[in-house]
Structure 1
Amino acid sequence: MFASYMINGWIVATIIAVVAGAVGVFVVLRGTSFAAHALPIGAFPGAAAADLFGIHEIWGLLIFAMLGVLGITQLGRRQRRDVATALTLVTLLGLGTLFLSLSGHYAQGVFALLFGQLVSVSRGDILPVAGIGLLVLGTLAARFRPLLLSSASPDLAAARGWAPAQLDLLFLGLVGLTTAMALPVVGALLVFSLMVGPAAAARSFARRPAQAVALSIAFSLGTLWAAIALAYVTDWPIGFFVGSIAAALFTLSEVPRRFSRTALG
């Protein structure tokens, strides 16, 4: 499990868990779980495009993730947010199908990006992931209060001089960056589980925003580390364990709340 060929995966997975845990708090607060689900699936064809045009996989993922963000925000001005997200996802998946058919030799890569593949992480992947992670965390720290206020009350944020539309675009951009860096390890189908499950569980225990972020990061780290260990032992896809553990974590976090409601009732 700690063999030399796994070390790169452990490093990248730890960075991903910290970033996903921090971003996930705002995904839950803003009610954008559908976007957090759609962006990874819409971004993964970018790897097929990168293979077709001969560029690094991470750049293809980033380009498609940002196309997804622009599609959701632009279409969202004329349509409901869920409709805009669905239309954007369909468009990106259509482009992905085209790129896959043109490349003709990316089937194994698609499987890895859908379900996660820890051992495929190379030393050259660490620096881009670390750079993206620092960018996301730094932006979250710098814009923490505006993002928090716009999540709770867009009208109050606007009254304070913070444009909700700009903050929405900024936030979706951070989700897109997190998606691109996490896809190769966790997989497109379950990146959103890592962003939503730990953050939703943390919200059940935290009383302050900063505490929610710290708990979400801790839960995200525990989820991904446990998933890596179980994937190594069983040789099953890491994404399966991420989804299962995240769901179990959220279910367990709801138990105290339900007991308290029963007692009050």
Structure 2
Amino acid sequence: MFAPFMVNAWVAGTVVAVVAGVVGFLVVLRGASFLAHAVPHGAFAGAAGAVLIGVDPLVGLAVFAAGGALTISVLGRRARSDVVTALALVLMLGLGALFLSRSSEYSAEVFALLFGQILGVSSGEILPMLVLGAASLIAFTVFFRPMLLSSALPDMAPARGVRPDSMSIVFGLLLACATTTSVPIVGALLMFALLVGPPSAARFVTRRPVAAIGLSVVLALVTVWASIALAYVTDWPVGFFVTAVSAVLYVAGRATAMGMSHRAVRRAPAPAPA
């Protein structure tokens, strides 16, 4: 379980889990799950286009992730954001299908961007991941307070000098950076599960932002580590375990929240008689 290729998997999985746990907190808080679904999947088209012209797929992935996030963030301000997100997603997927159809050879590397290759991470991929992951965390720390205010209290944010529209663009770019960090390792499908499952479970348990972020990171680490170990033992796909563990954590978080709510109701003092 700790062979050289597995060590790379543990390191890569840890980086992805930390980034997904932190950024996923904002995804859940802002109700931006559809955007978190669209950006990783749409960025696949950029990787396909990069392969077509002979460029590193990571470059195409980054360009389309940032471009898609900016387009959705800007156009979503003046129209229904779900419509803009859906149209941007299908447009990028259509471009991906076009790029793949024009390619003279099938690229397993592009296919891996959808489903991940966490057990096949090379040592050369670790450094770019660490750099992009660190950039995501630094940006999150710098803009944490204004993004938290614009997400939780958008009507009060302008009075505090925070522009919600600007924070939407910053959030989109942060999501694009996290996508570029994680998709080459876990794939677009699993990245979406990590951005939504563990953070949602954490939000059920606690409403305090710092505590929720910490718990989200812990649950994301548990998800990734358990999935890698189970995939190694059973020889089943890592993706199955990531989605299954995320779903179990979500259900457990929701059950915990319901239990806490029932206990609070029982402990509440009875109303005084008239």
Q: TM-score range by the shorter chain?
A: over 0.9
The one-letter amino acid paired with 1:185 is I
User: What does residue 6 of structure 1 align with?
Assistant: 6
Code of the residue aligned with 2:18 in structure 1: it is: V
Alignment check: 8 A CA contact 1:24 1:196 kept:
yes
What TM-score, normalized by structure 2, do the two folds share?
0.91
Partners of 1:147 and 1:162 in 2: how far apart?
A: 8
Structure 1 position 57 matched with structure 2 position 57? yes
Distance apart, 1:44 and its partner CA: 1.4
Q: Does 1:19 align with 2:19?
A: yes
Residues 207-229 of structure 1: CA distance to partner in whole angstroms, max 9, x if unpaired? 42111111111111110111111
* CA-CA distance at 1:130 after TM superposition: 0.8
Separation in 2, partners of 1:261, 1:208: 16
Structure 1 pair 189–207 and aligned structure 2 pair: CA distance change class (3 A): closer
Aligned to 2:216: 216
Q: Which residue of 2 aligns with 1:33?
A: 33
Q: What's the counterpart of residue 259 of structure 2?
A: 259
Give me the whole-angstrom Cα distance separating, in 1, the residues matched to 2:22 and 2:261: 29
Deviations 1:27-79 (A, max 9, x none): 11000001001111101122222222222222111111012112212321332
For the pair shown, which has the larger CA radius of gyration, 1 or 2?
A: 2
Matched letter for residue 123 of structure 2: R
* Structure 1 unmatched ranges of 5 or more: none
Conserved in 2, the CA contact under 8 Å of 1:30 and 1:152? yes
Aligned to 1:168: 168
Q: Deviations over 1:120-147 (max 9, x none)?
A: 3222211111111111101111111111
**What residue is the counterpart of 2:270 in the other structure?**
none
On the 8 A contact 1:14/1:221 being kept in 2, the answer is yes
- For residues 5 and 43 of structure 2, the distance between their equivalents in structure 1, rounded to whole angstroms, comes to 27
Please give the alpha-carbon distance, in whole angstroms, between the structure 2 residues aligned to 1:110 and 1:57. Answer: 7
Stretches of 4+ aligned residues off by more than 6 angstroms:
none
The root-mean-square deviation of aligned C-alpha atoms, in Å, is: 1.6
Residue 112 of structure 1 deviates from its aligned partner by 1.9
Name the structure 2 match of 1:124.
124
Which stretch of structure 1 is more off in the superposition, 189-198 or 234-243?
Answer: 234-243
Q: Percent identity among equivalent residues? A: 52
| 2-structure distance, mates of 1:159, 1:12 | 41
Deviation per CA, 1:158-203, whole angstroms, max 9, x where unpaired? Answer: 1111111111110111111111211122221221110111111111
How far apart, in 2, do the equivalents of 1:227 and 1:75 lie? 37
Aligned ranges 1:193-208 → 2 under 5 Å: 193-208=193-208
| Letter in structure 2 aligned against 1:229 | A
Q: What letter is aligned with 2:259? A: F
2:152 corresponds to: 152
Q: Distance in 1 between matches of 2:171 and 2:92?
A: 20
